[in-house]
C-alpha cells in the first residue's frame, strides 16, 4: 500500500506537487487560526443598541405637557410620575400645614415631600384638592388615592375671598379689558388678564397647542400655575367660541405623537397602539372603553378631539 501511495505522489508533475503542498499548508493554517480564536477570543456581545433606543424612545417621548411644577418644555414628567406611583397609606391631612413627618407617614417619597415643602416655602397655597394634584411629583394615581383625605381649611389656604369676591375684584381692577377667545388669543392679550404674566401666557398657549384647542374655559385649571382662585379672576374675561379643534387621529398618529396629548397616559397610548396592531382601526369611541386603562370620564374628556378617519 505504501508503494501505491508513493507511486501516486510521484505521478504528479513538480508544479502539481508544489500546488498541493501550498494548499495543504493553507488548510493547516486556517485550522490553527480557528482553534486559537475559539480558545482565546470571547464571542461579541449581542447588539442591544436598537432595543435600547426603542426603550428610551418609549419613555422620553411623552404626552403630555405637565401642568405642574415641571418645566413646560419637558415631556417626560408625566410618564415618570406614572411609573413611580406607589400604594400610599392615606389619612385626613391638610397639605398647607402638614409637616415633614406627616407627609412621610402618608407614604410619600422624600423627593415628593421636599417638593411640597419647597412649594409652600415659596408662598404657594393649596386651595383645593385639585391644586395638590398639580404638583409635578404627584402622579394621577397617587392624587386619586389622597384626594378623599385632603382637608384644606379656609385659614390655611388663605382663601378668604369668595368666588364672587374674586370676580368682583377682577372686574373692578380691569374695567377696560375685552373678553378674549382662548382659541384665538395671542400672548399679548393673555398678559392683560388678571393674575397673568409672561410664563402663564406661555403655558396657556403651549397647553392649547398640545390639546388641539380649548373646549371650555375650565380647562385653564389644567395649566400649571393656574389655581382655582386665579381662574376665578380670569373667568369673566375669557370664553371659548365654536372653533375647529386640531383632531386627535388615533388610527394614524404614532406612539410619539399620541403620548404628547395631555389627556392620554402612557398605558392608554400603549393600549391604542396594541389594538391597532392586532385588530386594525378603531372605528368608534365605544371601542376605547373596551381597552385597558380607559374609563367613561377619560372618554368624555377626549370625545371633542377624537377622529377615527
Contacts by residues 24-31 (CB-CB < 8 Å, ≥ 24 positions apart) = none
Domain, as residue range, for 94: 70-157
CATH at residue 195:
1.10.150.320
Same domain, 267 and 252: yes
Q: What is the CATH number of the domain that holds 270?
A: 1.10.150.280
Query: Are 132 and 146 spatial neighbours (Cβ–Cβ below 8 Å)?
Result: yes
Same domain as 81, residue 133: yes
Q: What angle do CA 239, 217, 186 make, to 5 degrees?
A: 60
Total of domains in the chain: 3
* 3-state SS assignment for residue 181: strand
CA distance 7 to 2: 9
For the chain, what is the total number of helices (H) and then of strands (E)?
A: 17, 4
Confidence of residue 138 (pLDDT cuts 50, 70, 90): confident
**Could you tell me if residue 32 is inside a domain?**
no
Question: Kind and range of the H or E element at 127?
Answer: none
Residue 143 belongs to a domain: yes
20/306: higher pLDDT: 306
Residue 204, pLDDT score: 95
Return the axis-axis angle of helices 77-84 and 266-279, rounded to nearest 10°.
90
User: Do 235 and 263 sit in the same domain of this protein?
Assistant: no
Q: What's residue 17's pLDDT?
A: 75
Instruction: Tell me: pLDDT of 61 over 50.
Output: no
What pLDDT is recorded for position 101?
A: 86
Q: Are 307 and 247 in contact (CB under 8 A)?
A: yes
Q: What is the pLDDT of residue 137?
A: 83
What is the average pLDDT across 40-59?
47
pLDDT at residue 80, rounded to an integer: 46
pLDDT tens-digit map of 65-109: 333 343 333 344 444 444 455 678 888 888 998 998 889 889 899
What is the spatial distance between Cα 183 and Cα 240, in angstroms, rounded to a whole number? Answer: 7
Comparing 223 with 60, the larger pLDDT belongs to 223
Out of 50-54, 252-256, 264-268, least confident range: 50-54
Q: Is residue 3 domain-resident?
A: no
Tell me how far apart the alpha carbons of residues 167 and 175 are, in angstroms, rounded to a whole number: 12
d(CA 218, CA 235) in angstroms, rounded, equals 8
Burial 15-27 (b: 16+ CB within 10 A, else e): eeeeeeeeeeeee
Instruction: State percent of the chain over pLDDT 90.
Output: 29
Indicate the SS3 state at residue 131.
helix
Lowest mean pLDDT among 8-22, 93-107, 275-289: 8-22
**168 has a pLDDT exceeding 60:** no
- Residues forming a β-bridge with 306: 248
Chain centroid offset of residue 111 CA:
19
* Structural domain includes residue 219: yes
At 19 the pLDDT is 79
Question: Mean pLDDT across the stretch 139-146?
Answer: 87
Last residue of a domain, one of 105, 128, 157: 157
pLDDT recorded at residue 42: 53
Place of cell 380691569: 174
Please tell me whether residue 65 adopts helix, strand or coil conformation: coil
Amino acid at each position: 500500500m505504501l508503494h501505491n501511495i508513493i507511486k501516486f505522489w510521484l505521478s504528479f508533475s513538480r508544479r502539481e506537487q508544489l500546488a498541493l503542498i501550498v494548499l495543504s499548508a493553507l488548510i493547516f493554517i486556517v485550522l490553527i487560526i480557528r482553534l486559537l480564536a475559539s480558545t482565546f477570543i470571547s464571542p461579541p456581545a449581542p447588539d442591544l443598541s436598537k432595543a435600547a433606543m426603542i426603550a428610551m424612545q418609549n419613555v422620553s417621548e411623552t404626552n403630555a405637557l405637565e401642568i405642574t411644577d415641571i418645566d413646560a418644555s419637558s415631556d417626560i414628567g408625566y410618564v415618570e410620575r406614572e411609573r413611580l406611583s406607589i400604594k400610599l397609606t392615606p389619612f385626613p391631612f391638610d397639605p398647607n400645614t402638614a409637616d415633614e413627618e406627616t407627609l412621610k407617614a402618608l407614604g410619600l417619597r422624600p423627593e415628593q415631600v421636599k417638593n411640597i415643602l419647597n412649594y409652600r416655602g415659596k408662598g404657594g397655597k393649596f386651595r383645593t384638592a385639585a391644586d395638590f394634584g398639580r404638583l409635578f411629583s404627584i402622579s394621577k394615581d397617587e392624587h386619586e388615592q389622597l384626594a378623599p383625605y385632603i382637608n384644606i381649611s379656609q385659614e390655611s389656604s388663605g382663601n378668604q375671598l369668595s368666588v364672587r369676591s374674586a370676580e368682583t375684584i377682577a372686574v373692578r381692577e380691569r374695567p377696560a379689558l375685552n373678553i378674549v377667545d382662548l382659541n384665538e388669543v395671542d400672548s399679548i392679550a393673555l398678559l392683560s388678564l388678571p393674575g397673568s404674566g409672561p410664563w402663564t401666557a406661555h403655558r396657556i398657549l403651549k397647553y392649547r397647542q398640545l390639546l388641539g384647542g380649548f373646549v371650555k374655559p375650565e380647562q385653564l385649571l389644567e395649566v400649571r400655575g393656574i389655581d382655582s382662585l386665579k381662574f376665578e379672576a380670569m373667568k369673566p374675561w375669557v370664553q371659548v367660541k365654536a372653533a375647529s379643534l386640531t383632531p386627535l387621529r388615533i388610527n394614524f398618529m404614532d406612539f410619539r405623537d399620541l403620548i404628547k396629548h395631555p389627556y392620554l397616559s402612557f398605558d392608554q397610548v400603549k393600549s391604542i397602539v396594541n389594538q391597532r396592531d392586532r385588530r386594525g382601526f378603531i372605528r368608534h369611541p365605544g371601542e376605547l372603553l373596551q381597552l385597558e386603562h380607559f374609563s367613561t370620564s377619560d372618554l368624555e374628556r377626549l370625545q371633542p378631539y377624537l377622529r377615527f378617519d
